[in-house]
Amino acid sequence: MKSAREIVMDLWKAMEARDWSTLESLLAPSFESVFPQSGERFDRAGYLRLNREYPGDWHIQMTSIIENSECVVTEIDVEIDGRTDRAISFFYVHEGKIATLREYWPEPFAIPQWRQGWALPTS
């Protein structure tokens, strides 16, 4: 059986390839996805539809992955229509299938004036 990490990596590969049958096979029948910022909740069919019908020419690049015994966390960059959005995703895998996903899409923001010049460069 694949590890939770491998299953999540397979999900992002399937999304990038628009391989919807593989994506569906990775999700538990009782799969649930929550986007706390927008208040949306999707079941398996809804999550598949959301991604199948997402507009534009988008591409996913996973930038980091962390796992522990209960959760796999990924950070991805999604390039779409000339901009890059970032998502932080918390996956819970049970019996070889992704059971739940909690996903955050943070907005970039300017460094507050009071702490400008303190941080090290990110690249």
Which CATH number does the domain housing residue 89 bear?
A: 3.10.450.50
Range of the domain at 11: 4-107
pLDDT tens for each residue of 57-67: 999 999 999 99
* pTM score, whole prediction: 0.90
| 94 within domain boundaries | yes
The total number of structural domains in the chain stands at 1
- 117 assigned to some structural domain: no
What is the 3-class SS of the chain, one letter each residue?
CCCHHHHHHHHHHHHHHCCHHHHHHHEEEEEEEEECCCCEEEEHHHHHHHHHCCCCCEEEEEEEEEECCCCEEEEEEEEECCEEEEEEEEEEEECCEEEEEEEECCCCCCCCHHHCCCCCCCC
Residue range 59-101, pLDDT digits in tens: 999 999 999 988 999 999 999 989 999 999 999 999 999 999 9
